Amino acid sequence: MKDLTVGHEGKLIWQFSVPMIIGNVFQQLYQIIDSVVVGHFIGKEALAAIGASFPIIFVIVSLAIGVSMGGTVLVAQFFGAKDFQRLKRTVDTINVLLFFLSMVLSTLGIIFSAQIFRMMHLPEPLIPIATSFLNVYLSGTFIFFGFNAISAILRGMGDSKTPLYFLIISTIINTLLDLLFVGIFKWGVASTAVATIISQSVAFIAAIIYLNKTHKLLKFSIRNIEWDRLIFSKIMRIGLPTGIQNTFVALAMMALMVIVNQYGTDVIAAYSVGYRIEMFASMPAMNFAMALSAFVGQNIGAGKMERVKTGLLATLKMSVCVALCISVLVFFAGDLLINMFTTDANVIRYGHEYLRIAGSFYAVFTAMFIFGGVMRGAGDTFIPMLVTLFSLWFVRLPLASFLSGKYAEKGIWWSIPIAWFIGAIFSYFYYRTGRWKKKSFV
């Protein structure tokens, strides 16, 4: 556990962010490795099918991400206020909520997977491949939710290093199993999902053992779980807007896939690979924002509002510098990155085109996330939700549809950074109003 209410703000946020960035890089490697192995050992059709599955997976886990964020904010604020009794009840409530949520969402996803792919206009030959992968993947949803819940709890208490160690181990296991199942045994696309479930299970079990041995107050025990209705309502008040936001972000991704799917397997595969690289590249921004949320939560809980602005400025400087470096990399070496997934010339060309357009504006995306991180740390998640939904549904999707009619796939690529600009501008102006300061729960 780390107290973020004392010490140099920038240094604290950097030290807290780096393990989370590395950890989420390893977490993204699950998807990256699956795609690399499938692209090289099976082909671009399987690669496109896995890419089409990702928006649906994101929809399934989005509500859980929101609930976890609500839990992280409460854990951070109660930890900052040294209110350990409510901290324990918050942890128990998060665990119960996420377990039942994972059961419902995974069941619905498995039942309706084929119908969803058809609604997305995925080419018919790709649907059986995509469905087999997705159904196996979703069977392990409760494991993914459980590990993310423990990670969120530890982050709220200032511990971003421990989940990293478990992720490194599980990523190594996932890589070895992917190569074994697909490269040697030739078991097909679904076996990569099995590899992910097995490796994530190792991380989840290790995290439970660690929590039980090192944080006696938060020890996981089914018999001693305390469900707190008031804390549940607070988690939902903070987390539900973020969960709804993430869900509609994922639905927007699915809607964008409908437009992308009109351009055939090469463009679908290129977008799938390009988007995976973009998710990888966006990890620093997202994790700096999460670190800032924990920092803001603890300092608001401790009544140290003056540290919040200093922390924001320090985070902006660090994260924008990192974003600019990544933009240079993907602009000049994007084709080499795409080549890691496939050797198909058309897929590489379309993918590099995507990265050059969207990747040039990662600093804008980063600024939008950082301002949102301040608001979420204060418990104000409603306005960030509205900003995100507006930039996606009223800017990106209409622009993608309109511009693609004139410039084909390039029009889709350009709609993405334009939406980021709109979101960043709205986030900045809401931050300047200061209304988010009144949303604290302590």
CA gap 54, 122 in Å, rounded = 13
CA gap 221, 34 in Å, rounded = 34
CA gap 120, 114 in Å, rounded = 10
pLDDT tens track for 320-331? 999 999 999 999
Question: pTM higher than 0.75 for the full model?
Answer: no
Whose tokens are 């988007």? That residue is: 275
- How far lies 95's CA from each of 89, 274, 413, in Å? 10, 34, 39
Write down the pLDDT at residue 2. 61
Write down the pLDDT at residue 30. 66
Nearest residue to 65 (alpha-carbon basis) of 416, 376, 420, 434: 376
Write down the pLDDT at residue 320. 94
Whose tokens are 């290093």? That residue is: 161
CA gap 87, 245 in Å, rounded = 26
Instruction: Report DSSP state, residue 6.
Output: S
User: Both tokens of residue 244?
Assistant: 């709804």
Whose tokens are 């040039």? That residue is: 360
Alpha-helical segments (H) within 120-189:
127-138, 141-156, 162-178
Residue spans of the chain under pLDDT 50? none
Write down the pLDDT at residue 250. 74
Write down the pLDDT at residue 403. 95
SS (H, E, C) 265-291: HHHHHHHHHHHHHHHHHHHHHHHHHHH
Write down the pLDDT at residue 16. 78
Q: How far is CA 153 from the centre of its chain?
A: 16
Instruction: Collapse the DSSP code of 160 into the 3-class scheme (helix H, G, I; strand E, B; otherwise coil) and give the result.
Output: coil
Q: Kindly report the backbone phi and psi dihedral angles of residue 440, in degrees, each rounded to the nearest multiple of 5, phi listed first.
A: -65, 155
C-beta of residue 287 within 8 angstroms of C-beta of residue 13:
no
Residue type, 322: V
Whose tokens are 């393990």? That residue is: 19
For the chain, the first-to-last Cα distance in angstroms comes to 20
In the chain, domain spans = 9-439
Residue type, 357: I
DSSP string covering 212-261:
HHH-GGG---GGG----HHHHHHHHHHHHHHHHHHHHHHHHHHHHHHHHG
Please count the CA atoms within 13 angstroms of the CA of 372 that sit on its side-chain side.
29
